[in-house]
Amino acid sequence: MSESHRHVNKRTGVLVGGAATALVAAAIVLPQANASAERPAPPRTFSAESAARAASSLKAELGADRTAGWYLDAGKGRLVMNVLSADDAGKLEAEGAVARVVRNSTSELQAATRALRATVAIPGTAWSIDPRTNQVSVVADRTVTGAELAALTEAVEKAGGGGMARIKRSAGEFRRYHGGGSGSEAATSTGGSDGSGESGDDSGRSGGPDSPGGSDGSGGSDGSDGSAGSGGSGGDSAGQGEGSTGALPVGGSAIFGGNARCSLGFNVTVQGAPAFLTAGHCGKGSATWTADQAGAQPLGTVADARFPESDFALVTYDDPAARPDSAVDLQNGGTRQMSRAAEAAVGMRVQRSGSTTGLSDGTVTGLDATVNYGNGDIVNGLIQTDVCAEPGDSGGPMFSGDAAVGLTSGGSGDCTRGGETFFQPVTTALEATGAEIGAGDGGDTGSDGAGRPAGR
């Protein structure tokens, strides 16, 4: 018998700051009876990929208006799917999924997010749909106070009437995660007031792109040992291919444009030509990118950059004969081959590689997220996670196994205290640019840091 058969799950409203006013209550998971005459099948064990396929099939079978999102209980490998009736819950359980009968439909939650988007323009705010609570989760960072907090609370109450939204506070401050040298835009971050500001000499918390990474050392879900390594060497990671520009960087390596330092996301091909993806706010900041801060190792030229609204850029390699490796740096001397792109799913275990903090891991916590970085920079359609990142990690890859999932955009907090981090979905960037994961064989594939061939 599923968990939703055993008890009623009620979540209370969240108090904002010192206010004693409770916000809208979470959705009530209604008790359900198994209306199917057939005995429910034991819950199946799913990977993120198989869960996505099964959820898509079940949604198509039932109809979008009868489902309300799904998530992966990664610890147990369970596909948990929200439906609006006990009859449909029985159908899902017959297919090996765990069913939850919930109050709010997907269309209602999407309408709430649209209402927030239309009425709230407060820097330091973000929201996403969380299928685990059947709500819109609204986050306000530490800069949102006073009249702005009151306005946000009112907007959430109006948009989330009937228990569709809740607010929580972040101890950090939302900002894009590009780093920089003297005079760069990144130097306008809080200067380390929350432990993650750049100092203006390209020396982030971990000391810059050539110093040891600040990862937490956890290996994530793909079996790598996850030990901290070079923190991105800007062009000499293991497994890189050779072109006339010399050894080429892989995902997570430092790249430099103007006064900014970002991280390479994924090497790709566009109509057979080599290119790479990184953050759009990095691509908007400089037309050309190099593998070193001095600019002596040119890499490529920005062909397309989208920011705000989205946050991805396509940079074509200057040398059309370049053969960069389709891999990410695991920051421990090894690389992981990337063979495909995958959609994110709430509950998916992921890893992120970046030139400031090295390798970190965590979980996808929300989809279709909107974040307001201030100065009119509002980005939609992002993946929300609890994976840490810091300035200089912008554009770096988020991946799961051998699948490319996201490009680092920004967030709050740091890799000492954690926080929320947002990622541009790779699938959206690939579709918009016509790019494909993989940019040649790149020579030696390296290893995943555990003595196994990369990508396995």
Specify the DSSP class assigned to residue 123: T
pLDDT of amino acid 39: 60
311 is catalytic: yes
Question: What tokens appear for 228 in the block?
Answer: 């901290």
Which residue has tokens 């819109």?
Answer: 136
Query: Which pLDDT value is given to residue 205?
Result: 32
pLDDT tens figures, 14-61: 333 433 333 333 333 434 444 344 566 788 999 988 999 999 999 999
Total count of residues recorded for the chain: 456
pLDDT of residue 144: 97
Residue of 88, 230, 233, 281 marked active site: 281
User: Residue 229's pLDDT is what?
Assistant: 35
Catalytic position from the list 253, 394, 409, 447: 394
Residues contacting 63, CB < 8 A, separation 6+: none
**How much is the pLDDT for 162?**
65
Active-site residue identified among 194, 222, 304, 311:
311
Residues β-bridged to residue 126: 139, 371
| 128 has catalytic annotation | no
The angle subtended at Cα 238 by Cα 236 and Cα 242, nearest 5°, is 65
Best CA proximity match to 234, nearest among 294, 298, 180, 291: 291
Task: Count Cα atoms within 13 angstroms, Cβ side, for 124.
Answer: 16
Measured distance CA(124)–CA(117) in Å, rounded: 14
Distance CA 59, CA 44 (A): 17
pLDDT at 89: 93
Q: Is 178 a catalytic residue?
A: no
Q: Is 306 exposed, middle or buried (0-12, 13-18, 19+ CB in 10 A)?
A: buried
Q: What is the pLDDT of residue 271?
A: 94
Q: What's the pLDDT at 218?
A: 37
Question: Can you tell me whether residue 411 is helix, strand or coil?
Answer: strand
Give one DSSP letter per residue of 173-226, joined into a string: --EE--EESTT-GGGGS-TTTTS----SSS--TT-STTSPP------TTTT---
Q: How far apart are CA 293 and CA 125, in angstroms?
A: 33
Question: Is 354 in a helix, a strand, or coil?
Answer: strand
Which tokens hold the place of 129?
């749909």
Predicted pLDDT of residue 160: 72
**What number of other Cβ atoms are within 10 A of residue 444's Cβ?**
14
Low-confidence ranges of the chain (pLDDT < 70): 1-40, 161-162, 181-246, 439-456
What's the pTM? 0.76
- Long-range contact list for 122-125, CB < 8 A, 24+ apart? 122/148, 122/151, 122/152, 122/372, 123/174, 123/372, 123/373, 123/374, 123/375, 124/173, 124/174, 124/372, 124/374, 125/152, 125/174, 125/371, 125/372
Identify the bridge partners of residue 316 per DSSP, sorted by sequence position.
275, 301
d(CA 75, CA 40): 21
Which of 117, 42, 27, 111 is CA-nearest to residue 79?
42
* The predicted structure's pLDDT at residue 38: 52
